[in-house]
Amino acid sequence: MTSRVEELLAENEALKLRLKTVSKEKADLQMAVSLIDRIASATKKNDVVSVILEILVTAIGGSNIAVYYEADGKWRYTDILGTKKWLDDIDCGLVRDVLSTGEFRKENESELSKLSIPGYPRTYETWGYPLKVGEDVFGAVRLQGMAIKHAHYRSNIDPFIQYSSLVLYHEISNVKTLQTAYRKISLARDRLQESEEKFRQLIENVNKVFWIRDARTNDLLYMSPNFEDIWGMSIRKISEDTDSVIDAIHPEDRSMVAYKFQRQNLSKAFELDYRILRPADGTVRWIHEKNFPIPDKSGKIYRRAGVSEDITERIQMEAKLRQAQKMESIGNLAGGIAHDFNNILFPIVGMAELLLDDLPAGSQARENAREILTAGLRGSELVKQILSFSRHTDQEPVPVKIQQVLRDVLKLCRASIPADIDIREEIEPQTRQVMSDPTQLHQVAMNLITNAYHALEDGGRITVRLDEVVIESDNPDTFSLAPGPHARLRVSDNGTGIPADILNKIFDPYFTTKKKGKGTGLGLAVVHGIVKDYSGDILVDSTPGRGTIVTVYIPIAEQQGSQIEDAELVCTERGCESILVVDDEPAVVRLERLILERLGYRVTAFNSSTAALDAVESDPWAYVLVISDMTMPNLTGDQLTRQIHSIRPELPVIICTGYSERLNLDAVGDIGVKGVLMKPIVRSDMADMVRKTLDAT
């Protein structure tokens, strides 16, 4: 019985102990669950660390508890004493050991501890727990001042630390993810801003206009700033009034632009050129536009974009190029026939000179011969002017009698202008000469009369007046001119006139009110430039419906030169030497022979360059001079010269030509040519050059 009681008592004690243990385990478990619930409620990294510290110090005490974790390449340190700092390196050996091994570590602090907390025994330890997820150790918890009696808490601290690791790791990972995402977003934003800035700089600095419109509503979505510079309109205005862009298109091009947009398949890109009238100043600008669709992801066109470019300068350069090509073609044509014209004029001039020698003074026949000579020399000058004009080169200004230029121009105009236009001339014969290039003066008169003709659509009257006036310093109409005598040329018509709003633009290059094919708009600009070059001025007075008067002032030349009015040239240079003459034109050869023989020379003449060469080969010393045409079949003048000099190097040669552009003076000089005579050759010029050449040998 006694043993049974003892057994029951022992069992009862065991049950009490078991109950006590279970109660303690239950309490510990409840504490752990409570701690885990609290840490789970923390939502930020710093909050998680604070909760970990708070729970640990509340549950198990300790003199200090600190949490280490890595973030942004550094170590973050936080403890229950309120210390928070960033560390480049871990300052605790125990923590370093925990981080390197990933295992729990402890060390006995005993008397070596720097901690001195009243009431705490000196027998305590420092514990180190790793903060890790799997094998990834990212931090540690250090618990200082842990009394040995607390050792039984380790079984509860372990799962808490593990769970804390998961929560803190999650927060750190979220922060890293957010930081990475933020960095990526920031980088993308910076790149976008950089790209937008580059695009803005490109858009604003390229001389083009970029625009985008809604394909359905035609609303303007974007227009680059250059639009305002090129079109002379504000972007705000066209945003509010779409039709204002259409209104700015040149009236003659408006229907073409509308037709293009209506006829083009708007699902494809297309290009067009058109003109605009800038509302700001009324100037005409040429626009080249590229228009293309923008589809959405489904392929439906939802926007249209375009690039517009001011191509005015290019159009002007193309016009200049076409003009230059046309002038080059005219020059080639003129050069091609100049030789033939001068070959025709040479016998006329030469024979007229010979007739003057043969006819008695005062006779009508002699007077007629003198008129023939004068006309021939004028024809020669006209050929020179045509060549100069076609080459578009300037000559040195010389005294020019405008009366003769006007007569020549009027002859050309009367031949080309319709008969229903009456051309009247009121030319004062006493008007003195002006200093100018005759070709440019011819161009001035021709342009003014042509412009007047274009203003007369259904016939009318053109009046050309020339007189001499004295400009006074106080005359407001001619304030730009220097005081003194001026030639005044007036060309008036009773045509359509020029509207007042464009009168100040008529001297602008390429500005024209003429229909296509009626002119480039260069005429008055050229006239203005020429007149200004000669210190003159040009004035325009026009009334719409009544006509226009264009007045040109050019200063009278201080030194008056001679004119070809009454040609009779005296020749005094003579000789008796033997000369060889060669030209493929029989009339020219005959004339040269007559001229030279009358001057006393002995002449042997040939119509063939090869025959002339044979004569030199057969008797190289029979001649003291060779006069050769330049353009001949078989051997040209320069080729013949080389052949002759291969036989007799010192034999002098004079070249005759009807077109100087075909003759390289330096080149012929290098092969021993002693002089060049331009056809039609005046007898005195030939006599002078022949005598000088012979005297120099």
528-565 pLDDT per residue, tens: 888 888 889 988 888 888 889 999 999 998 877 655 44
Check residue 130 and report its DSSP letter: E
Residue 473 sits in a domain whose CATH number is 3.30.565.10
- Specify whether 469 is located in the same domain as 606: no
Q: Is residue 552 part of a domain?
A: yes
Q: Does residue 332 surpass a pLDDT of 80?
A: no
563-593 pLDDT per residue, tens: 544 445 455 567 789 999 999 999 999 999 9
Q: Which residue intervals of 73-153 are DSSP H helices?
A: 93-101
Q: Is residue 657 part of a domain?
A: yes
Domain boundary among 562, 594, 618: 562
Mean pLDDT over each residue of the chain, to the nearest integer: 80
83-105 pLDDT per residue, tens: 888 888 888 889 999 989 989 88
Q: Is residue 315 part of a domain?
A: no
Q: Who wins on pLDDT, 476 or 484? A: 484
Per the structure, how many domains does the chain have?
A: 4
The residue written with tokens 């150790």 in the block is 137
Beta bridge partners of 127: 106, 143
Residue type, 3: S
Q: Is residue 47 part of a domain?
A: yes
- Specify whether 443 is located in the same domain as 511: yes
- Specify whether 495 is located in the same domain as 538: yes
* pLDDT > 70 in the chain, percent: 78
Show the tokens assigned to 191.
């790149």
In total, the chain counts a number of residues equal to 697
Q: Note the pLDDT of residue 567.
A: 46
* Per-residue burial over 592-607, b = 16 or more CB atoms within 10 Å of its CB, e = otherwise: bbbbbebbebebbbbb
Residue type, 565: E
- Determine the Cα–Cα distance for residues 457 and 424; give it in Å rounded to an integer: 18
- Specify whether 426 is located in the same domain as 555: yes
264-283 pLDDT per residue, tens: 666 788 889 999 988 877 78
Q: Is residue 375 part of a domain?
A: no
Residue 673 sits in a domain whose CATH number is 3.40.50.2300
Q: Does residue 35 surpass a pLDDT of 60?
A: no
Q: Is residue 337 part of a domain?
A: no
- Specify whether 547 is located in the same domain as 413: yes
- Specify whether 607 is located in the same domain as 670: yes
Q: Who wins on pLDDT, 624 or 152? A: 624
- Specify whether 623 is located in the same domain as 525: no
Q: Note the pLDDT of residue 521.
A: 41
- Specify whether 414 is located in the same domain as 526: yes
- Specify whether 407 is located in the same domain as 555: yes
Q: From start to end of 416-497, where are the E strands?
A: 421-427, 434-436, 460-471, 484-493
Please name which of 507, 518, 515 lies closest in space to residue 540, comparing C-alpha atoms.
507
- Specify whether 545 is located in the same domain as 588: no
- Specify whether 408 is located in the same domain as 557: yes
Pairing of strands 434-436, 421-427: unpaired
Q: Is residue 135 a contact partner of residue 102, using CB atoms and an 8 Å limit?
A: yes
- Determine the Cα–Cα distance for residues 514 and 508; give it in Å rounded to an integer: 14
Residue 252 sits in a domain whose CATH number is 3.30.450.20
Q: Note the pLDDT of residue 42.
A: 56
The residue written with tokens 């464009």 in the block is 502
- Determine the Cα–Cα distance for residues 63 and 142; give it in Å rounded to an integer: 11
Backbone φ, ψ for residue 626 (5° rounding): -120, 130
Q: Is residue 119 part of a domain?
A: yes
CA 667 to chain centroid, in Å, comes to 40
Q: Note the pLDDT of residue 196.
A: 77
Domain boundary among 529, 562, 595: 562
The residue written with tokens 């019985």 in the block is 1
Longest Cα–Cα distance of the chain, Å, equals 195
Please name which of 382, 388, 530, 381 lies closest in space to residue 447, comparing C-alpha atoms.
530
Q: Does residue 41 surpass a pLDDT of 70?
A: no
581-626 pLDDT per residue, tens: 999 999 999 999 999 999 999 999 999 999 999 999 999 999 999 9
Task: Return the SS3 of 372.
Answer: helix
Residue type, 592: E
Domain boundary among 173, 194, 214: 173
Residue span of the structural domain in which 644 resides: 578-696
Residue 86 sits in a domain whose CATH number is 3.30.450.40
173-196 pLDDT per residue, tens: 776 676 677 778 888 888 888 877
- Specify whether 587 is located in the same domain as 493: no
Q: Note the pLDDT of residue 346.
A: 86
Q: Is residue 388 part of a domain?
A: no
Q: Who wins on pLDDT, 15 or 661? A: 15
415-466 pLDDT per residue, tens: 778 888 899 999 999 999 998 888 788 888 988 998 888 888 778 899 999 9
- Determine the Cα–Cα distance for residues 582 and 589; give it in Å rounded to an integer: 7
